Amino acid sequence: MRVLLNSLLAVCLPLIAVGTVVGQAHFGLRGAPTIGYLGGSYIEDGGGGEWGIELGLTADVHLFANVDLVTGILFLHQKGGRKIKTVDSDTIWGYRFGYMYIPLVVRPVFPLGESGWNLGPFVGIYFGLNGSCKIKDAQYTGFSTTCSDDTVGGAGESTDYGIPVGLDFIRKFEGGSQWLLYARMDVGLANVLQGADDLGLTTVHRTIVIGFGFTYPLY
């Protein structure tokens, strides 16, 4: 994991620096509600859904004509899932995870005629760092609200990584500013509950995000 993160930073930081110097980078904000599902063999009812939110900074580095590398740091990124406590109870309780979310995606951009709108499908990899965990409706579970009495790591112990796939609808304006609507699905590849690997269980995230953002060039 540390090797992958160091590789990610080694690629991203020089590209952002070069893009800024030559005037080929946009910086901005993104924010969105999220709905997360925690799936796998540990989740009896398929995971359910849990609402959250994401908010943070992004950088679009223009690698080639109509091809961007998009990265950034979403300081607030929540996801989670819910499950039935026991087979003899209908009580629903949920995990809620929070991460510092770092994406690295490639996005070709296709103009939609003369409308000023552009279509940008993207795919890449993401990392979730400095994870924290809380249990919603913990009074029904016997666990603490911070997951410390369950098999889940507490604040700062959890990480996540996976594949983000999505679509940006980009509106370009004179002066270089851009507004965008985006839709994304994160396909988690990491077990996010500690001890799952040792028990042969899978507990992975699936998160759907639909949000809004803007970027501005720094020339």
Residue 183 CA to residue 194 CA, distance in Å, equals 30
Q: Which two tokens stand for residue 207?
A: 């998160």
Instruction: For the chain, give the percent of residues with pLDDT over 90.
Output: 26
The pLDDT value given to residue 3 = 47
Is the pLDDT confidence value at 5 over 60? Answer: no
The pLDDT value given to residue 22 = 47
Residue 92 CA to residue 78 CA, distance in Å, equals 19
Is the pLDDT confidence value at 154 over 50? Answer: no
The pLDDT value given to residue 99 = 85
Of 110, 113, 93, 103, residue with least CA distance to 44: 93
The structure's pTM equals 0.79
Beta bridge partners of residue 135, listed in sequence order: 95
Of 21, 24, 144, 29, residue with least CA distance to 76: 29
| pLDDT single digits (tens) 48-95 | 677 888 999 998 988 888 899 999 888 877 776 665 554 455 666 677
Burial label for 59, CB within 10 Å (0-12, 13-18, 19+), is buried
Residue 149 CA to residue 154 CA, distance in Å, equals 9
Of 47, 34, 43, residue with least CA distance to 166: 34
Residue 141 CA to residue 91 CA, distance in Å, equals 9
| pLDDT single digits (tens) 107-130 | 999 999 888 899 999 999 998 887
State the DSSP H helix or E strand holding residue 48, giving kind and residue range, or none if neither. none
Residue 197 CA to residue 200 CA, distance in Å, equals 5
Question: Is the CATH number 2.40.160.20 carried by domain 2-217?
Answer: yes
The pLDDT value given to residue 152 = 45
Q: Which two tokens stand for residue 187?
A: 């396909």
| pLDDT single digits (tens) 14-54 | 555 555 544 478 889 999 998 887 766 555 554 567 788 89
End-to-end CA separation in angstroms for the chain = 35
> Residues, the chain, total?
219
Look-up: residue for tokens 């994160």?
186
For the segment 188-206, the average pLDDT, to the nearest whole number, is 71
The pLDDT value given to residue 142 = 57
